[in-house]
Structures are given as C-alpha cells and as structure tokens.
Structure 1
Amino acid sequence: MINTTILSYKLETVIGEGGMGTVYLGNHMKLDRKVAIKVLLPEFANNTQIRDRFINEAKTLSKLNHQNIVTLYDFADQDNNLYLIMEYVDGTPLDTVIEKVTGPIPEVRCTAIFDQILSGFAYAHKKGIVHRDIKPSNIILQSDDTPKILDFGIAKIVEG
C-alpha cells in the first residue's frame, strides 16, 4: 500500500500494526502535512462486524476534540478499503518510555503526564465515550511530555 493515494493523502511508510489495521505515516499532498492513516486489513474487507467496529472508531473520534486525544481529520471508504486519517503524533508510546527508564520517574513528571491523560479520559467520558482499551501502548508521549490517547477501536458510546 506504500505510495497509494487516498483522497489527497499519500501513504509513505508503516508506523504501526494492530489486530484490525495497519497505520501508515502519510502526507496530505496539497497541505504538505504529516498524518497517520489507519487502514483496515484486507482480510477484514468483507467482514461486516469488523468493518462496523472500524467505522465506529471513526464516529467516536469525530465526536472528540481535546488536546490529549488524537484528532480525526478524515474518513474514507475507497475500493472496499476503509481509512482513518488522523493527526500524526510524533512521540514514543508510553510503554516504551516506561521500559527505557532506569530508576523511578520523578513524581512531578508522572503527575503532570497522568493529569493530562486523565483530562483526556474525563473529556471523553463527558461526551459519553468509554475507551475500553486503556494501556500504555495506546498513549503516545510527545517530546514535551504531552500525552495523546490513541486507538478508540473498541470504544463504546454510552447514551444518556
């Protein structure tokens, strides 16, 4: 799929893989802006349940606008393939940060990071969205220690 064009986006390199999809670093060709493009794996193209989950992730992210939650820019259904076009977050997964640390992380740093993570989850909960897959690998820590919550693939929208 590398060098494939989806809408105005070009897929450049693989930056992640999961159970439902592959995430590519992409580029908006007209704006010259980096994006992350999550592509549903081809083996799920005709699986209605998996496609619905992927579409649910797009709908869920479209309801969220918070500095600690990855932003959805666009969604595409092209040639029976589904694509989520999202903010590219340049950083390190929190699980990797934790693995690489030698000794305790200073309390002040931990508190600042987790306050922001909790702010993102509190915002999502106020919008009636429960993430349901909270783990360090679903949080990217940017170089300035700003965390971004990713992967709302199994999130649930709670009405009420």
Structure 2
Amino acid sequence: MPLSGGAEFAGYTIIRPLGAGGMGEVYLAHHPRLARHDALKVLTAAAADDREYRERFDREADVVASLWHPHIVGVHDRGDHDGRLWISMDYVEGTDAAAMIAGHPQGLPPAEVAGIISAVADALDYAHDRHLLHRDVKPANILIAHPGTPDQRILLADFGIARRDDDTSSLTATNMTVGTVSYAAPEQLMGAKLDGRADQYALAATAFHLLTGGPPFQHSNPAVVISQHLTASPPKLAARRPDLAHLDPALSKALSKDPAQRFDRCVDFARALGHQLGTEPTAPALAVSAPHSHRQASGSRPSWLRPTVLVPLVLAVLLLVAVAFAAGEFIGVREAGPTHPTTSETPG
C-alpha cells in the first residue's frame, strides 16, 4: 500500500510521492536527523519477496554508493523496514530529459542536447573506468536539476540494473531481459558480453531521441524494435531534421551494430557531436583510437554478428520477447511510471 503524507517510514517522514513503478514507489521524505529532504525509494512487499529483484535492488545501492561524481545521483543509505526494502538518495528538484522532449516533440535545441550528452558521457566513463556498466541509459534516467537557471545540473540516475563488466553471475537469465528496448545495444539484446560501448550505443540512441523527438527505431511491438536494433541500419538524422545532417557521421558511428566500430569512450562520442555543433572546437571530429579496456580486439567481429549465427539468434530472441511481452514481464516495455526522484515542484 502506498505511503501517505505525514507517515513515518524507517525514521523518515513522508512528504509526498514523487513517482511509482510496478515494483515500488519513490517519495520525498524528511531525513530523521538532518535538516534536509531525500528521495526515498521503497519496494512493495511483494517485490521484496522476489529474491532476484531483492538482489538487484540491494546491488543498486551498493553500486551507486561506490560512485561519487557531479553527474551521478548519489545514494545515502539503504535498509529493510517492516519487510520492505528502501534506498535513500539525493532529491533532485527539477525535471528529466524525457519530460523535456515531451514538451518539444520536434526535438530540443542541438546545443542543449550536446550539453546533456557531454555530462552523461562523462558520468558513464567514470563508471566504466571502475568496471561498472549502467545498462539502462535513456531520457527518463537523465535528470535536470534547476533547469534554465545558473544552478542547473545534469545527473544520471537509476543504476538499478547496473553490473560490473566482469560480472558473470546469472542474476538475470539473459542481458536482453533488462533495459529499455528503444535504446538497448544489439549485444545487450542478444545477451552477449558487454562493455562500456553498450552504454555508448544507448547514449547515442538517447541523443537521437532528444534531437528529433523520437528514438531511432519505433514500433508498438517491442519485438519489431529489437529486430531493427539487430539488423536495420540506424535512420539518418537528415531524414527527420535536415538541418542536422552534419551530425549523422557521429551518431551513425556510435550506433554501429559492431561495438568495435563505435567510439572508444562515451566522451569521444560526445566530443565528436559537440565538434560538429561548434560546442567542442578543439575535439577531433571522428578520430578512432584503440579500445582502452575492451577485451575484444577491435578487428575481431563478434560471432553473433555473423549471418549464420545472427539469423537463428534473432529468431530465438524474438520468440523469447514475444512470450515475455505476452506475460507482461518485459522490463522497460511494461513500465508503470517513473521510478527516479525528480519533480518540478518545490519541496513541501
């Protein structure tokens, strides 16, 4: 049952709800000892009984608590209260990139997008350097604090499905069952080994969405979107915004099916984008360097990209997605609402 304003939970005083999803709610809450407001993420009792989701929830706190970066939402504490798991984190007063683009269906100003992508790229590379992958980069997970003011901040939120790049545990049956399909990299959808370039693909898909008003691939059936991520060439910006045709080389590179053909780091993609927009005048346009920590050699084509392997794998993935979607269990497709701590209102 949702918590009401004034209720006490784990010592916190609930002020009001900020958002809700299928597995829990996020509240604005007053800290029990400090004169500040935190965002309190609380799982439903049923979700807490799910061992896999409980482990994922605990890992979100452990993963993000190990990160300190100006563009990453900070986690303060976690616990178990009356059988319900909770995490307290920074309260971000403002909005998110998904809400911003909803108000600008033709796309945001390119310079504004470049600033958002640059900040998130820096946050992602910081995490990647510590062997952590986000795996769910999308507009809804990019928070904008105090938008349009001198105090504006851009923060990456929701490391709920993050994992180490050397994690071989079977916490989820396959990598493709987590994340949001509109932005997920082909190798993630195929359950292949991931590195930071999977997050780069999602960041590029996010940039495409912010620039045009829609993600690269769109369809009401998630299986079709997955098939397009795996086999179709990414659409050109020029087809939707001819004035941004000069950005196509950077986006096409970051959206390559083969991770080895993408930029080495997320900031390299952001700088290439900024260079073409004139916001990063000293950055090389499309220079490619050898991967700095990627285990696969850049000249080695992933086995799953070979036609004899890709076709049956695509069919198997689409069949699995169809079954999961029919059961209402495909995470990111059956979202019930925002789960991150953001609001455009003044704290009460």
TM-score by length of 2: 0.43
CA contact 1:113–1:147 (8 Å) conserved in 2? yes
Count of aligned pairs between the two proteins: 160
- For residue 154 of structure 1, the aligned residue among 136, 152, 161 is 161
Q: Which is greater in Rg?
A: 2
Distance 1:129 1:41 in 2: 27
Would the aligned equivalents of 2:30 and 2:37 in 1 still touch at CA under 8 Å? yes
TM-score by length of 1: 0.90
Equivalent residue for 2:129? 126
Report the Cα offset of residue 155 of structure 1. Answer: 0.9
Q: Which runs of 5+ in 2 are unaligned?
A: 168-348
1:141 deviates by 1.2
CA distance in structure 2 between the aligned counterparts of 1:97 and 1:64, rounded to whole angstroms: 26
Amino acid at match of 1:56: R
Aligned residues of 1:95 and 1:136 also touching (Cα < 8 A): yes
Q: Which residue of 1 aligns with 2:115?
A: 112
Look up the match of 2:21: 18
Measure the CA separation in 2 of the matches of 1:71 and 1:43: 26
Q: 1:136 maps to what in 2? A: 139
Structure 1 residues 84-136: Cα deviation after superposition (integer angstroms, max 9, x where no partner): 00000011111110111265533322212211011111111111111111110
Shift of 1:32: 2.0
Identity across the alignment (%): 33
SS in 2 for 1:133: coil
Query: Hey, which of these two has a bigger chunk of helix by percent?
Result: 2
Instruction: Name the aligned partner's letter for residue 22 of structure 1.
Output: E
**Is residue 77–residue 83 contact of structure 1 (8 Å, CA) maintained in 2?**
yes
CA RMSD of aligned residues (A): 1.8
Tell me, yes or no, if the aligned pair for 2:8 and 2:14 is still in contact at 8 Å.
Answer: yes
**Alpha-carbon distance in 1 for matches of 2:110, 2:47:** 43
Indicate if the aligned counterparts of 1:6 and 1:76 stay in contact, CA closer than 8 A.
Answer: no
Unaligned runs of 5+ in 1: none
Correspondence 1:66 to 2:66: no
1:70–1:148 Cα contact (<8 Å) kept: yes
Bigger proportion of residues as strand: 1
Greater CA drift, 132-141 or 99-108: 99-108
- 2:34 maps to a residue whose letter is L
**Aligned-residue offset at 1:17:** 1.2
Is contact 1:113–1:146 with CA below 8 Å preserved after alignment?
no
CA contact (8 A) 2:29 2:37 kept: yes
